[in-house]
Structure 1
């Protein structure tokens, strides 16, 4: 672009708000919108969401018995209530609207699509019948409209591989009774499934020790609050080396987790009906199947600390009587159409949120024009929900620093994009539609004394939301 055309573009933008599209209306996208509105810039923001309802991970990735975390929605609500931001839901980027389309209507685009797939675990037997990804199970019990309505819960002994908060959520939901979870927002199909759950033992496996577990202290302690779950830790699994002790000294959270596990290891075992075992120093080596391809066991190798907080194998193999295995070894983002993608890291290559296109002959980075990322698609699925605020602030700072060089959108008017969607027959939902769906879900819960009952079917969500076009 020439200096003259850049100046003309800048003059056109100066006469109106900067038009920005954010693809993904979960916490990362909403925090980006908030950061934009808190800046000195005059902005007009459209938040795009694939689901008919906003909030992403909060609605479809957090266990239903975590009202404390779901309380974050209150803060996100305040952002979406602002007049500078507009929600456009039930729109699938790449199908209903493309990057080229977005460039017609917006000066810049931020992608905040998160991570909703399971990271692979390369061990024999991972594809057996009865081997599941934690993300799929979470989507089921959170009433995601795009997953099956039933879940096989006929295993009496279940393994969960991983020692992060998602592993704890999966283990806790598997160990609780359906009636314990009924007061939450779970939909009827999930309640019926959990009510028939046959699991009596849930075994959580970590290949390293207590000081290397990724649980948060509060999440860990919540395991012990259920009157039906007996949490059991073997005394021989409480072990630390110099690296582990250093981790405890430098992190209050690590020390609190270790202290809780130590207390559970020395207490007398109670008589609660469901047993939840936390195993450390057991590295999953193979999922064992029968002749019909069904899971009948888990094989692990005992590990030991090497002095640095890492572990090495001992060669000691143990077979566990298990009929279902859930891997909770991390989430993975999915490729975004028309953007570069690092398959190994599961992220869009970027520098401080600016999307990298390639390098010039001198090895200097070249960036995609006016294209940015934030949240897990930017840095990978690590950290808690609140950590995405820092991502958003960094990305937005880069966007605003670049704004003078943006090519002005040819059709920046607010109704241009909605007319485009209407012409394509896309039944998009709005923020006002969310209020209608929210009221509908609360009304469903009221006769049972529940805060809400989540609507699962996409068509039912659309009907309650009264989208612009159905």
Structure 2
């Protein structure tokens, strides 16, 4: 077969979050020469770094500077405000590109499946996080913050994030890039207590040590845990991973110390609890929790088993943070049980999908931290590049780059290119500068598009 390694290959990356940018960087480093066009349905890139990371974690958000460097490289183009399945199709991309990488993440929630889950005041964390981060899809969420207690279901970092955002002091909030509509609502909130409920015990909780430790630095916040659930010797088991032991030591500290009775805000960790029912007349008024015990199965996995005992907790706000879930892509295989695309080391399964690949959460499920996506993307790209070297190139005109952009602008008159995003970025940063904020986000789609135009 003729060797095509001397000509550029063209790859479409659908999704502009961390996994998409790590895949793009790996492709641009690859041999043979690869050109990358990145697509996103939003006008703005960066995915969860922009719309998922808590606003009071600017160090985590600083990874976006790496993505800026990738976007500035020769051979990279960004096309925002382009929706796969509406503006363009999978088949049209396959006609124009040697390969497609889907980097679309997990865009919806895992359901609790209990009565009352859809009562007003019961909110998925993915929606709440999008609301305070200025995601255009969630601007009109208007969560009910006229209650003194919020109950958060889940024992991972997202649960910690949403609870912490409800309880941060005003000065801390105003120093962040929290969307202005959410900033005003959170400052005026009546919430004084957040109860975080995990169905298993503190050993099984998925918090990271950094997130737990930083709770002690928040002014006017009392953090508590039941000493019976976090006993004095809980961290003494040397067979536990070091990270788990560190977490248990922090949680034990919360359980061992008397909380400041004068603190304005209170956060409680309540383990061995599962939601059974959410009740209320027209809105959330209380949640019923089932008390669990732990059992270890023959497979060695620890499971929460309902004891039949119940607790009723009055609350006007329930935040469901039990995990994210992927959505099916038009024309692409999908495993409904796992919420992921079936694949083998990033290659999508099936003879009809030999030029299609996945990275990130749509590949492996919603797990890991931002940096996990780099190794994940490198694995997929390694196979993709090997495959490119063995395939006949897609037939396309010599002016492929120009013809693709002409086609896209015809389909999407409001397309946002890299220059358009840079204009939005500069505007937002400029708005934040007078008040010492990283940026003041624009959340209205029409305003974003207007800012992006030359």
Q: TM-score under structure 1 normalisation?
A: 0.90
- In the comparison of the two structures, how many residue pairs are matched? 446
Report the secondary structure of 2:353's partner residue. strand
Corresponding residue for residue 164 of structure 2:
172
Corresponding residue for residue 362 of structure 1:
none
Q: Distance in 2 between matches of 1:428 and 1:69?
A: 29
User: Shift of the alpha carbon at 1:116?
Assistant: 2.1
Give the helix-richer structure, 1 or 2.
1
Corresponding residue for residue 112 of structure 1:
103
Q: Distance in 2 between matches of 1:410 and 1:153?
A: 57
User: Shift of the alpha carbon at 1:367?
Assistant: 5.6
Q: Distance in 2 between matches of 1:61 and 1:55?
A: 10
Deviations for 1:107-137, whole angstroms, at most 9, x for unmatched residues? 1110000012111111222112211100000
CA pair 95-178 structure 1, distance change in 2 beyond 3 A? farther
Q: Structure 1 residue aligned with 2:324, among 307, 325, 331?
A: 331
Corresponding residue for residue 203 of structure 1:
195
User: Shift of the alpha carbon at 1:405?
Assistant: 4.1
Matches within 5 A, 1:116-155: 116-149=107-140, 150-155=142-147
Report the secondary structure of 1:423's partner residue. helix
User: Shift of the alpha carbon at 1:79?
Assistant: 1.4
User: Does residue 400 of the first structure (1) align with residue 391 of the second (2)?
Assistant: no
CA-based RMSD: 2.0
Q: Structure 1 residue aligned with 2:333, among 327, 332, 340?
A: 340
Corresponding residue for residue 185 of structure 1:
177
Deviations for 1:174-208, whole angstroms, at most 9, x for unmatched residues? 12244431111123211111122111111000111
Matches within 5 A, 1:153-168: 153-168=145-160
User: Shift of the alpha carbon at 1:427?
Assistant: 1.5
Corresponding residue for residue 441 of structure 2:
454
Runs of 5+ in structure 2 lacking a partner?
Answer: none
Corresponding residue for residue 213 of structure 2:
221
User: Shift of the alpha carbon at 1:168?
Assistant: 0.3
Matches within 5 A, 1:311-322: 311-322=304-315
Deviations for 1:328-359, whole angstroms, at most 9, x for unmatched residues? 000011111110111110001111111112xx
Runs of 5+ in structure 1 lacking a partner?
Answer: 1-6, 358-365
Report the secondary structure of 1:295's partner residue. coil
The question of whether the paired residues in 1 share the 8 Å contact of 2:144 and 2:316 is answered with no
Corresponding residue for residue 390 of structure 1:
375
Report the secondary structure of 2:38's partner residue. strand
The question of whether the paired residues in 1 share the 8 Å contact of 2:5 and 2:32 is answered with no
Q: Distance in 1 between matches of 2:11 and 2:453?
A: 25
User: Does residue 439 of the first structure (1) align with residue 426 of the second (2)?
Assistant: yes
Q: Distance in 2 between matches of 1:424 and 1:226?
A: 49
Corresponding residue for residue 360 of structure 1:
none
**Which moves more between the two structures, 103-112 or 219-228?**
219-228
The question of whether the paired residues in 2 share the 8 Å contact of 1:354 and 1:367 is answered with no
User: Does residue 378 of the first structure (1) align with residue 368 of the second (2)?
Assistant: no
The question of whether the paired residues in 2 share the 8 Å contact of 1:177 and 1:194 is answered with no
**Which moves more between the two structures, 78-87 or 408-417?**
408-417
Q: Distance in 1 between matches of 2:412 and 2:278?
A: 47
User: Does residue 272 of the first structure (1) align with residue 257 of the second (2)?
Assistant: no
User: Does residue 23 of the first structure (1) align with residue 32 of the second (2)?
Assistant: no
The question of whether the paired residues in 1 share the 8 Å contact of 2:285 and 2:315 is answered with yes
Report the secondary structure of 2:79's partner residue. strand
User: Does residue 258 of the first structure (1) align with residue 245 of the second (2)?
Assistant: no
Corresponding residue for residue 283 of structure 2:
294
CA pair 245-207 structure 1, distance change in 2 beyond 3 A? farther
Q: Distance in 2 between matches of 1:425 and 1:112?
A: 21
Report the secondary structure of 2:247's partner residue. helix
Q: Distance in 2 between matches of 1:303 and 1:187?
A: 38
Q: Distance in 2 between matches of 1:462 and 1:190?
A: 22
The question of whether the paired residues in 1 share the 8 Å contact of 2:196 and 2:269 is answered with yes
Corresponding residue for residue 67 of structure 1:
58
Report the secondary structure of 1:268's partner residue. coil
**Which moves more between the two structures, 305-314 or 446-455?**
305-314
The question of whether the paired residues in 1 share the 8 Å contact of 2:82 and 2:412 is answered with no
**Which moves more between the two structures, 434-443 or 370-379?**
434-443
CA pair 21-241 structure 1, distance change in 2 beyond 3 A? farther
The question of whether the paired residues in 2 share the 8 Å contact of 1:28 and 1:375 is answered with yes
